A and B are shown apart, each in its own frame.
Chain A
């Protein structure tokens, strides 16, 4: 077997259809003026747009039909998320989809159907996982105490302010477990909003201490650990898909400026010091795109296999490095204009820094890829 290994690439009718619909939808609903209008709003997104996305069925794409979803799998969420990334459209779709996947894969079976049905119907959800800034640290101190109450604080919980449901990852009898917490169960002041580098997103630290977790709201069992591993990989994949879309529009922004700005009597795009790195951005976006659809081709409903793990990690390592490079060069290539709030380059470079740190940065994934590829 070659270390390059699996290079499968399939693109289904459903994916093609959703790519088409989502591109157009996101372009219409999320022009850059609308993105900017949300930068300082509380929710970070437009409720009316979210309602339309829900009506289009996007929150149920990867959920089974028995829960009101369309059963098309995460592969079909990828083109939607890529399109959202392209339009810098911030909504709870990613966090809600991922919460659904974690629950679906947790081995809890039919008892979760009502919760999953809520998610499919558009009730925003979020997974509360991190307790510090280390994506590679799997130890948990958050737990359910002997009184059946949660103890602990979770960090950087995405969309905390709007989530109706939190899936809290806790330690239980020496193994990871999932506690389901409804937003209304949180004590007042439990959520402290974070100020994020990427203003198209929202997150908060959430103190779950004291929230009662009845037995039926605690998911335990051996499938939870594997579901968590897959949740991290699918999170990496969806962030990669979104970043790929954002990098593609960042590239467009750069190309536009290089074709209009003149200095020394010439369009600046004729200078190779700008032209060639711009080609590098293009090639890096191409790699990102190839990786996300390759990973989408491999993702299954059951536990993800080794090839899929490799694919998701490569997608993330490639796509957020690409967005970071694109955003970084976008600022530089706009000159003084690039240093301004008004220039869209700031949106991309800020998003890049946030996305790089979500679900593990490029080094995090490459370190694990080394083991997967070189230690067999």
Chain B
């Protein structure tokens, strides 16, 4: 179904008005900038209510099928919503592992039963999802995951441990990568993929305190936990392939995301704005030649990425290494963000040494916390070093 330009224009105006009217007032506590920062029940309930409201207005999952709670319309409408959400700086739609990874996966390869069971709850925020991939001993080397799933009649019995499970303590479901076969020649072939319930005996989570001082992810323990056999997605042994497909959604290389604002965007303009009253050598810091040069380099990096996103769609300008722009994007964007936030603290002078909780910390310690949180993107979803391996091997064709 394709939409006319005028239809889209009218829709934009409608959404803009809705966001204006419904953007929640400041709740008086800190709101997460990404789903990885949801650390307490107060934040959770606030965000759950907000996402539900967005969905009920018809502004989430617009391109997902109607029968599963979606809108069944052109994805262009959702893009408009997402842009308006960013523009109006509304809170995030926090159920990202469902909306962005598990949901598209179920939509693309799930059975009818799976779609009917899971998709709507993802959109309404009734069912929060988490991801059980990483283990204490197997992180970057995900293919070596050892958490066991053994078939026993109508059930699988789970034993082992996952870690860094974002929202593990809030989630109802987990996308789980577990080993059903320890005898395969290739370690990858023994893995299977499950859409597992979290609230069953034998699955326990323990929150882990993060670098920021807050909570937000968990250790997840499996001790003879029994889950129905139909939680298996696809067939035994297909886990690795499905996990790789999941990472494609996660890294933004594959479409299907339900939409919604996944993270608050902080721009270089925001950073510059907060510096108006900061001095260096008695002069405004924005007049310092060395700091100016650092800012210019940060601006250039952001601008190059934005232009690159457009260039990726112009065939003749991408002939050398066609995969380069999309496959490098996660690496570049996450590293750029980390740099920018590091610079933001540097620019504050001595006050940069304060932290969240100090009366005088600038903007409540926003930049200090944001800098620490920026590592979630340079480590999570495949570390920058692993991303560089992927680009080197899959784009440039360098040997493993």
Task: Give residues in A with beta carbon < 8 Å to B.
Answer: 2-5, 7, 9, 11, 16, 19-20, 248, 255, 258-259, 266-267, 269-270, 272, 275-276, 278-279, 282-283, 286-287, 289-291, 293-294, 314, 317-318, 363, 366-367, 369-370, 373-374
B316/A373 in contact, CB under 8 A: no
Inter-chain contact B299/A279, CB cutoff 8 Å: no
User: What is the CA–CA distance of A11 and B311 in the complex, to the nearest angstrom?
Assistant: 9
Contacts of A3 in B (CB 8 A): 268-269, 272, 299
Q: Which of A248, A278, A289, A317 has the most CB of B within 10 A?
A: A289
Contacts A258-B398, A369-B296 given: A11-B316 contact, CB under 8 Å? yes
Find out whether the CB atom of A20 lies under 8 angstroms from the CB atom of B295.
no
B28 at the interface (CB under 8 A from A): no
Residue of A nearest to B391 (CB): A279
Q: Which residues of B contact A16 (CB under 8 A)?
A: 316
Report A-chain residues with C-beta under 8 Å of the C-beta of B393: 275
Partner of A267, one of B308, B395, B399: B399
Give chain B residues whose Cβ lies under 8 Å from the Cβ of A294.
307
- Other A-B pairs, 11, CB within 8 Å; known A276-B388, A287-B301: A7-B303, A7-B306, A9-B310, A20-B316, A270-B399, A275-B389, A275-B398, A278-B396, A289-B311, A291-B304, A373-B299
Question: Which residues of B sit under 8 angstroms from A9, Cβ to Cβ?
Answer: 307, 310-311, 314
Partner of B397, one of A255, A286, A367: A255
Known: A270-B398, A318-B304. A279 touches B328 (CB 8 A): yes
* Chain B residues in the interface with A (C-beta under 8 A): 267-269, 272, 286, 289, 292-293, 295-297, 299-304, 306-308, 310-311, 314, 316-317, 320-321, 324-325, 328, 331-332, 385, 388-389, 391-393, 395-400
18 intermolecular pairs with C-beta atoms under 8 Å apart: A2-B269, A3-B268, A3-B269, A4-B303, A11-B316, A269-B392, A278-B396, A279-B328, A282-B328, A282-B391, A283-B331, A286-B308, A287-B308, A289-B317, A290-B308, A291-B304, A369-B296, A373-B295
CA of A4 to CA of B304 in the docked complex: distance in angstroms?
Answer: 9
Q: For A317, list chain B residues within 8 Å (CB).
A: 300
How many angstroms between the C-alpha atoms of A255 and B324 in the bound complex?
A: 14
Residue of B286, B395, B399 ringed by the most chain A CB atoms within 10 A:
B399
Contact at A374–B292, with CB atoms within 8 Å? Answer: yes
Given contacts A11-B317, A290-B308, A374-B292, contact A282 B324 (CB under 8 A): yes
Contacts of B396 in A (CB 8 A): 255, 278-279, 282
- Tell me the minimal C-beta distance from A266 to chain B in angstroms: 7
B291 → A minimal CB distance (Å)? 9
**How far apart are A232's CB and chain B's nearest CB, in angstroms?**
18
B226 to chain A, nearest CB (A): 43
